[in-house]
A and B are shown apart, each in its own frame.
Chain A
């Protein structure tokens, strides 16, 4: 008999596994990481003198509880850490563990693949010392390191102030917190956010704490460049009044909200449609997370909702899976989880509107800016290719012509910016630019390892 497989051991995957175990199943839980918890609730290796309670702040209780629950769960599931799922063909997963390839058949598949930062390129963003905002937090949570001693936070996200607060708490100087969204635009989005007032208050608390500490916090900035010879030396911006401002720093954290890691859902056959609030193509799911026959999607890997929504949506998708197996439905639990997931995801949708992806700034980037970090393709090369292209323009065509998005990250980093540059040429919203299709292997796999699976 084949099995029920969960991919991803973050809050969504753990939430799903708990529900399945409670109904007598023994799911296989596959995770690329060495330790469960996903990115947000990442637990450092033993021996690191890091006060996670202090670092996690208001989330400390949930962080500790999730790891306690996972420990209790571990004996009741088949947990496979450090295992990459690099392809899905029919009812078979292709795995890589310790450099060795293998396959695994499944009956039902629940993908909880998590999210990564969405970033907008700017001149100098490939310099050593520029990291994603999530990366800056992981350096701290996973390794006990700061990405620099004087750090600038740039992007558009409430997490800029949160991460800056964590960095300041751990002894970093904060050069600036610079958000590309104008302040009035954020205020205008507040009615949507008030649906979850406690989270809102926490968000404002982060900003207040930053202001109290005298950290410059700018709204409505236009990024000009990260400056430096062989590493970061300064961040150059134009403020909301158009004045150029230079902030000396030795590191920059970039974050424009999160984007779901949807490559595996793509390979598993999920349909995608364009979401105008997030300006991303996202897998289509029903109210419980069903994405196709025997395919379930949960957590930030399908809809950005944060850790609580991820956990609830994992449990909800597991209830869907159980119902599809013919088990009696716990309708009270389903109703409660559905409400929770809808409310939290609506809040994140409000945040995505309030902290806007700076599409106009991206469309206006100078030709010289590096767009694809992997294949070294500039914005100008993409524009030149679009000038030469015959027939309808869309991202996959531009990718084939320029190699932008074809490198080893598979467009995870440059994809959203590429989409805006193509969309600004073809007119219309991001939907008009088309969707970068996922390809196996979803992450680079040595040919020798892939060969052992054949």
Chain B
């Protein structure tokens, strides 16, 4: 796997409970209060690939308007990464996951 290159660069430390989430099977360490988007981009993960053409995307407006930073939770729902805070144990993926047992 190629070394992750962070898009975001943290310049203000955050004090808070450490949180670990998983994105595309990779463990992402964050701090309570971080947005999912900041946690992913700070750790070199991209947010998603476009349904058409598979280009990478990593959010755009960062204020809940453009809807270009959706990720999918293991429960099947989608999350807007820029306006959702990280939670410990979140299991996220760039694309919707089929329910367990489905041979899809």
Interfacial residues, chain A to chain B (CB-CB below 8 A): 32-34, 39, 44-50, 99, 116-117, 126-132, 134-136, 138-140, 142-149, 170-172, 230-231, 250-251, 261, 373-376, 407-409, 412-413, 443-444, 446
**For A443, what are the chain B residues with a Cβ–Cβ distance below 8 Å?**
64, 67
Q: Which of A39, A47, A131 sits near B14, CB closer than 8 Å?
A: A47
The CA of A147 and the CA of B44, in the complex, are separated in Å by 12
Contact of A230 among B56, B63, B64, B66 (CB under 8 A): B56
How many angstroms from the CA of A140 to the CA of B63 in the assembled complex?
12
CB closest chain-B residue, reference A375: B52
* Contact for B9 among A130, A145, A261, A446, CB less than 8 A: A145
Known contacts A129-B58, A231-B5, A374-B68; A139/B38 CB under 8 A: yes
CB neighbours of A373 from chain B (8 A): 57, 60, 66, 68
Contacts of B15 in A (CB 8 A): 47-49
- CB atoms of B13 and A49 under 8 A apart: yes
* Contact (A412, B11) CB under 8 Å given A128-B56, A143-B38, A145-B38: no
Task: Show the binding face of B for A, using Cβ within 8 Å.
Answer: 5, 7-16, 31-35, 38, 41-42, 46-47, 50-53, 55-68, 70, 77-78, 82-83, 85
Q: How far is the CA of A149 from the CA of B34 in the complex (A)?
A: 19
Contact between A50 and B8, CB atoms less than 8 A apart: no
**Cβ–Cβ contact A144 & B59, under 8 A:** no
Report chain A residues within 8 Å CB of B50. Answer: 126, 376
Q: Is the interface of A mostly helix, strand, loop or mixed?
A: loop
Chain A, residue nearest B51 (CB): A376
Q: Which of A48, A171, A376 contacts B52 (CB 8 A)?
A: A376
Least distance between B45 CB and chain A CB atoms (Å): 10
Bound form: Cα–Cα A388–B1 in Å: 47
Give 4 closest A-B pairs by Cβ, nearest first.
Answer: A144-B12, A135-B62, A128-B58, A45-B33
The answer to whether B57 touches A144, judged by C-beta atoms less than 8 angstroms apart, is no
8 Å CB contact of B85 from A45, A130, A172: A45
Residue in B5, B11, B46, B55 whose beta carbon sits within 8 Å of that of A144 in the complex: B11
The answer to whether residues A49 and B67 also contact, given A131-B59, A145-B38, A231-B7 and a CB cut-off of 8 A, is no
**What is the distance, in angstroms, from A441's C-beta to the closest C-beta of chain B?**
11
Which B residues lie within 8 Å of A145 (CB)?
A: 8-12, 38, 41-42
Given known A139-B38, A144-B14, A230-B56, contact A412–B66 (CB-CB < 8 A): yes
Establish whether residues B13 and A144, one from each chain, have CB atoms under 8 Å apart when the complex forms: yes
Q: A117 touching B61 by the CB < 8 A rule?
A: yes
A50, A130, A444: the one contacting B60 at CB < 8 Å is A130
Least distance between B14 CB and chain A CB atoms (Å): 5
Alpha-carbon distance between A144 and B55 when the two chains are bound, in angstroms: 27
Known: A48-B14, A99-B77. Contact between A146 and B9, CB under 8 A?
yes
B58 touches A149 (CB 8 A): no
Whether the Cβ atoms of A134 and B63 lie closer than 8 Å is yes
- A251 vs B58: C-alpha distance when bound (angstroms): 11
